[in-house]
Homo-oligomer: A and B are copies of this chain.
Amino acid sequence: MPETTRRADRHPGNRYGNRPTMKDVAARAGVGLKTVSRVVNGEPGVTPDTERRVQEAIDALGFRRNDSARVLRKGRTASIGLVLEDLADPFYGPLSRAVEEVARSHGALLINGSSAEDPERERELALALCARRVDGLVVIPAGDDHRYLEPEIRAGVATVFVDRPAGRIDADVVLSDNFGGARDGVAHLIAHGHRRIGFIGDMPRIHTAAERLRGYRAAMEDAGIRVEDRWMSLGVTSPERVRRAAQEMLSGPDPVTAVFTGNNRVTVTVVRVLFEQSRQVALVGFDDFELADLLRPGVTVVAQDAAALGRTAAERLFRQLDGGLVAPERIELPTRLITRGSGELPPAG
C-alpha cells in the first residue's frame, strides 16, 4: 500500500492553497517579520512610508492573517459556542440571534450546533467547541448531567446554561419562569369557569416540561380541583402522539373543556385538532408563536422572551470573561400572559 509515499511529505500537505504568510509579505516589502505584524495589527511604531510598502505587499499577495496561529499565541479565540436543541425550531432562532449580537458587540464570533435533544450529541458538541478553545459556552441542555464540563470550566471556559438548568454542576443559569407562567395560564382557564383541564407536554425529564407540569398542578390545587390522570399526557412532542393524546382527552364521558399545552409545537398541533372539533374547547399554550393572533379564535399564550433569554445569558457570559469570577447565579425571567380569545372561551356544555 504505497499510500504513504504519495504525498509531498516534506512539506506537510497543509498549505492547500499556498496562502501567503507574514514572512512572504515581509520578503516582498523588504522589511522584517515583526514590522508586518505591527502593520496588520495597527500597532504604533511604523513610519508611514514603511507602512505603505507593507500594505502594498499585503494587497498584492492577498494576504490574510491566520487567526489559528494568532489564537495559539494569544490564548483567546474571540469566539463563543452555542449548543442548542434545534436551529430550525422558531424558538431558538431569535435566541441564537440575540447571543450572536452580544458576541458581536464584544468582537467575538459565534459557533453553534444543534444537539437534536440528544445528551450524547450535546456532550460531543460542547467538548468539540472546547477543543476549539472557545472562550465561553452557552448551553441549552439536552442531558441532565454536565459534570463532563467540569474540567473545562476549571480551565477557564466561561459557561452559562439557558432555558434549562445544568445537571449536577454549579453554574450560571438563565431561565424563564416556567412554573409561574404555567400556573398563571392554567389559572386563567380556571377563572373562565373550567374545571376539567387537560395538560399536554414534553417528556418530564426535560426540566421545562416538568416545571410547567408543576405549575399546572399548582393552579389546579389552588382551585381545589382534583387532577385526573387521564387529563395529563407527557411524552415526545411528535404531532402523531400529541394528536392522539388530545383526541383522547377530548372524547369519552367527561371530556376536558380546556387544554393547556406545554410548548409551541404542541400548541400548533392541538390547534389543528381543535379545528376539526365541532365543540369549542378553550386553549392556552406555553410559548408565543407567529400568527397566533390571526387564528380564530386568537390563541392565548404564556409568552417567554427568547431573545431576552439569549441576551441575558450572553451578557452574563461576557461578564464572566471580562470581570473576575462571580458566584454562579440563577436568573429567572418573567413570562407574560397574552390573551387573545382561545383562553376566554367558556366551558362548552
Residues of A within 8 A of B (CB): 12-19, 62, 64-69, 71-77, 79, 86-90, 92-94, 96-97, 100, 104, 109-114, 127-133, 150-152, 154-157, 268, 271-272, 275, 289-291, 294-296, 307
Interface centre among A93, A110, A268 (most CB of B within 10 A): A93
Instruction: State the Cβ distance, A108 to closest chain B Cβ, in Å.
Output: 10
Across the interface, do A114 and B86 meet the contact criterion of CB distance under 8 Å?
no
Q: A66-B131, A114-B100 are in contact. Are A272 and B290 (CB under 8 A)?
A: no
- Decide: A295 and B291 in contact? CB cutoff 8 A: yes
A271 to B289, CA, bound (A): 16
Query: In the bound complex, what is the Cα–Cα distance between A296 and B295 (angstroms)?
Result: 8
Interchain residue pairs with CB less than 8 A apart (5): A14-B75, A17-B155, A18-B156, A68-B71, A275-B294
Contacts A66-B72, A68-B132, A110-B113: A93 and B100 contacting too (C-beta < 8 A)? Answer: no
- Could you say which residues of chain B place their CB within 8 Å of the CB of A89? 93
A68-B113 in contact (CB<8A): no
Which residues of the partner chain B approach A94 to less than 8 Å between Cβ atoms?
87-88
**How many chain copies?**
2
In the assembled complex, the Cα of A130 lies from the Cα of B66 at a distance in Å of 8
Do B87 and A90 have beta carbons less than 8 Å apart? no
Bound-complex Cα distance A289 to B289 (A): 12
Cβ contact within 8 Å between A14 and B74: yes
With A291-B268, A295-B291, A295-B295 in contact, is A109–B90 under 8 Å at CB? no
Q: Out of B14, B87, B127, which one reaches A73, CB within 8 Å?
A: B14
Per a CB cutoff under 8 Å, which of B68, B76, B114 touches A14? B76
Cα A71 to Cα B88 with chains together (Å)? 30
4 tightest A-B CB contacts, nearest first: A14-B75, A17-B156, A62-B151, A17-B155
| B114 engages A112 (CB within 8 Å) | no
Supplied contacts A66-B72, A87-B93, 10 more A-B pairs, CB within 8 Å: A17-B157, A18-B155, A67-B132, A68-B71, A87-B100, A88-B94, A88-B97, A90-B90, A112-B112, A289-B291
What is the minimal beta-carbon distance from A278 to any residue of chain B, in angstroms? 16
Please determine whether A68 and B64 come into contact, CB atoms closer than 8 angstroms. Answer: no
CB closest residue in chain B, given A75: B14
Contact status A75-B15, CB under 8 Å: yes
Residue among A62, A87, A295 having the largest count of chain B Cβ atoms under 10 Å: A87
- In the docked arrangement, what's the CA distance between A87 and B89, Å? 11
A94 to B112, CA, bound (A): 14
CB distance from A301 to the nearest CB of B (A): 13
Q: CB-CB < 8 A to A150: which residues of B?
A: 62
CB distance from A35 to the nearest CB of B (A): 20
> CB distance B156 to A90 under 8 Å?
no
- The listed residue with most B CB atoms (<10 A of its CB), out of A113, A129, A155, is A155
**Complex Cα distance A235/B150, Å?**
51
Inter-chain CA distance A294–B66, complex, in Å, is: 51
List B contacts of A92 (CB < 8 A).
93
* Measured CA separation A72–B132 after assembly (Å): 12
Given A62-B151, A72-B72, A100-B113, residue A67 in contact with residue B131 (CB < 8 A):
yes
> Bound complex: CA of A275 vs CA of B296, how far in Å?
11
